[in-house]
Structure 1
Amino acid sequence: MTEADVDAVAAELRQRLAERLTAAGWLLSPAWRDAVEAVPRHEFAPRFYVESDAPGLTTWAPVTPELVGVHEWLRQVYDDETLITQFDSREIDWADPQPISNAHPTSSSTLPSLVVRMLEDLQVEDDHTVTEYGTGTGYSTALLCHRLGDERVLSIETDARVAARARAALVRCGYRPRLYIGDGLTGAPGSTRAHRTIATMGVRSIPPAWVEQTHPGGLIVATLRGWMRSLGLVRLTVEDNGTAHGRFLSSDPSFMIARQQEAPESLGMLPAPDGGNTRRTSYGPELLAMPDSGFVAQLTMPNARYFSMLADDGTVSTYVLDATNDAFAVLTPNGEGWTVRQGGPALLWDDVEQALALWHAADSPAPSEFGVSVAPDAQRVWLGTPDGPSWRLPA
């Protein structure tokens, strides 16, 4: 297949992608649709990995034109799927790509529906400037450049090798935004203020520099997440007093967490078998994985993670461990329900039950009924109104 043939097939696939995103309600404005139809995503994902549907351990399979054929490669590029381009912050050996298991994705081209949803939520106007945190492959950067012009887009990437590939792809496509390599959690170089700030990685709380470097009245669109799960996409309006306020737009988007905020490798010390106090509980570990109750649990235990382990007697217990202070809760089935054994400087499961009681009293609202307030000294998520029940985000 010639280069002209590739370009023709890709153009048709981009149009089909735009049609699907429009029909699904993600792509709303003509300007962003024009960008989706114009920017060649295949230039930003010349080879990648996709999750295999094989049972068992999560495995990713390599996709390149040589391995699957040009037509199939292009088809997958223009699917509404996330394309993984890096694992565990290491370079992939593309000379002999093999399936990968037991690995942690650390860079990707995010599924287009989420990208355009965030761009629509950003509510840009023609004269706006945008700072993007997390250049990644450069695809979303290219969409911004097409919409606003190179001179109005600044993008920061923490990984020098990822940034170099993104820069090369952007140049091939005729885009030359300002690109920087560095820790995006400390803000953009200099004191440039943007009208809009967008982040394509999850953060545990909003970095103060993002508020400081966004014009008063400007918007920040980012994903808040914890060590157990994503909280969701938020849109904040920056005030002229250095604060920002807004609401969750949805709870489903889940970006990779910023590398500087990844959870410690160690889950923490297992509690002694006789440690803590035991009582009955109305809630089992399934609440941690459910969409809405899991959201509340993550707010309540921002530094916790959980896992299940088989005991010698065949009982499966779920351990909830706080990596910062050694607080713990151990959930064990007791025939008809559950018991919890908890101890340490905080009673984790007591806190979860109290938060769930507040949530149920408010008629168990969806995450979109929660808001976020960011101030220089604290950040909190609140239920209903800023005066309602609230939980602090980790600094």
Structure 2
Amino acid sequence: MSDHDQLLGQLIDHMTASGSLRTQPWKEAAASVPRHEFLRNGFFRMVPGSSPTAWAPVLEDGDGWLEACYADESLVTQIAGTIKPTDIRGEIMREPTSSSTLPSLVLRMLEDLEVEPGMEVLEIGTGTGYSTEVLCARVGAGRVTSIEYDEEVALRAREALGRLGTYPNLLIGDGLLGGNEGALYDRIIATCAVRTVPAVWLEQTRPSGQILTTIGGWLNASELVRLTVHEDGTASGPVLGGQVSFMLARPHQAPPLSLLPDLSRGKEREAIIGADVLNDWTTRFVAQFAVPNAQRLKLRHGQHDEDLLIDVDSGSFAALHEEDGHWIVRQEGPDLLWDTVEEHLDRWHTAGTPAVEQATVHVTPEGQSIHW
């Protein structure tokens, strides 16, 4: 038995024990895919103790490369939108922009997709091609379409899949615009997060078909959602939970903050709910449905440390600070952001702050909402 076969076997055992790999067909599919084939261009490893975070390349056959390929962890494969591990020596301090998702999450999502042989599947975000290969092993390459936004990433995935003799329908383009024009799919799965589910995904899913995607936002909380598409072109389904986190699709990433508004302006009142509630992941996830265009900052203003919600498009802001045990909010703009957050969270609290797994997301071509 080769080293990678032994490591793959250990990974399969780990995913089975953790509950992410639950059924025999997916176990067989995962066991047929050598993950290292999709990481031959190397990956970036976080430099311990670095601040800001630095990344160092780990190349094929380098120290710990093969073992890391079969570890149940995400591996960064691109930095700053263009830089791959073979491009640098030393360290780089920029933001990751592409990665190979930890295998247990890939298999958990494929299990949750409830896909069966014979179904047509669209994958949004080919990435390294690892998840594409596992999907092809289960339903057949002829049933799989995968679209990747980044052309270089797509070409490397095509090479890796080709080495294994797998030839799905690979597209290069914006997956938020769907797959092949006019195509219909039984399942759509996204390996990036979206702020709102694109209307074209609803259009390209057959009635009773499913969409599995991570819904996130600019308050930095996200969850996995499985939507069933209805005859009327809407969709609904449960939040599956687990605090699943993916990079937002590039067109859905937050716009840069330039000049801040005059934070001394606006009307003040005592807040019913303090900004400290946004330190909780689930609360942020719920709040994002109320203020989907708001970004959160922490800054010093005058004599106070303030939490700031700002909508750069409308210019609306809400600044909150704590004073003598009370929270004070100051707001200005066409949208009273904190009023909206308080009203939305009040409905959640009235329902008993149920866990996200008890929530249902409803999606129409015009937008989305969350209900308990």
TM category (shorter chain) comes to over 0.9
In structure 2, give the amino acid aligned to 1:297. Answer: A
In structure 2, give the amino acid aligned to 1:270. Answer: L
- Does the C-alpha gap of structure 1 residues 321 and 251 become closer, same or farther in structure 2, counting only changes over 3 Å? farther
Aligned residues of 1:230 and 1:251 also touching (Cα < 8 A): no
Aligned residue for 2:334, secondary structure, equals coil
**Runs of 4 or more off by more than 6 Å in structure 1?**
none
C-alpha distance after superposition, 1:244-278 (max 9, x if no partner): 2212111511111111222112x254232430012
Aligned residue pairs: how many?
Answer: 371
Q: Which residue of 2 aligns with 1:10?
A: 4
Aligned residues of 2:263 and 2:319 also touching (Cα < 8 A): no
Check if 1:105 corresponds to 2:93. Answer: no
Structure 1 unaligned blocks of 5 or more:
1-6, 385-395
In structure 1, give the amino acid aligned to 2:367. Answer: Q
Q: Which residue of 1 aligns with 2:203?
A: 212
What is the TM-score with the length of structure 1 in the denominator? 0.89
Q: Which residue of 1 aligns with 2:225?
A: 234
In structure 2, give the amino acid aligned to 1:347. Answer: L
What is the RMSD of the two structures over their aligned residues, measured on CA atoms?
A: 1.8
1:252 to 204, 224, 243: 243
Q: After superposition, where does 1:300-339 map in structure 2 within 5 Å?
A: 300-311=290-301, 313=303, 315-339=304-328
Aligned residues of 2:58 and 2:85 also touching (Cα < 8 A): no
Check if 1:25 corresponds to 2:19. Answer: yes
- Does the C-alpha gap of structure 1 residues 272 and 363 become closer, same or farther in structure 2, counting only changes over 3 Å? same
Q: Which residue of 2 aligns with 1:383?
A: 371
Aligned residues of 2:296 and 2:308 also touching (Cα < 8 A): yes
Q: Which residue of 2 aligns with 1:392?
A: none
Alpha-carbon distance in structure 1 between the residues aligned to 2:48 and 2:247: 21
Structure 2 unaligned blocks of 5 or more:
none
C-alpha distance after superposition, 1:17-54 (max 9, x if no partner): 11111111110011111122110111111200133442
Superposed displacement of residue 286, structure 1: 2.7
Q: Which residue of 2 aligns with 1:391?
A: none
Aligned residues of 1:251 and 1:367 also touching (Cα < 8 A): no
Alpha-carbon distance in structure 2 between the residues aligned to 1:308 and 1:231: 20
Q: Which residue of 2 aligns with 1:390?
A: none
Alpha-carbon distance in structure 1 between the residues aligned to 2:27 and 2:85: 35
Superposed displacement of residue 134, structure 1: 0.4
- Does the C-alpha gap of structure 1 residues 336 and 241 become closer, same or farther in structure 2, counting only changes over 3 Å? closer
1:56 to 42, 51, 57: 51
Check if 1:181 corresponds to 2:169. Answer: no
- Does the C-alpha gap of structure 1 residues 8 and 189 become closer, same or farther in structure 2, counting only changes over 3 Å? same
Aligned residues of 2:229 and 2:235 also touching (Cα < 8 A): yes
Aligned residue for 1:123, secondary structure, equals coil
In structure 2, give the amino acid aligned to 1:51. Answer: M
Greater displacement, 236-245 / 22-31: 236-245
- Does the C-alpha gap of structure 1 residues 166 and 209 become closer, same or farther in structure 2, counting only changes over 3 Å? same
Aligned residues of 2:57 and 2:86 also touching (Cα < 8 A): no
Aligned residues of 1:268 and 1:321 also touching (Cα < 8 A): no
Superposed displacement of residue 282, structure 1: 4.6
Check if 1:289 corresponds to 2:279. Answer: yes
Aligned residue for 2:315, secondary structure, equals coil
Superposed displacement of residue 287, structure 1: 1.9
What is the TM-score with the length of structure 2 in the denominator? 0.94
C-alpha distance after superposition, 1:147-203 (max 9, x if no partner): 111111110111111100000000011211110111111111232212111111111
Aligned residue for 1:230, secondary structure, equals coil
C-alpha distance after superposition, 1:211-253 (max 9, x if no partner): 2212211111011111222331111111222222212111511
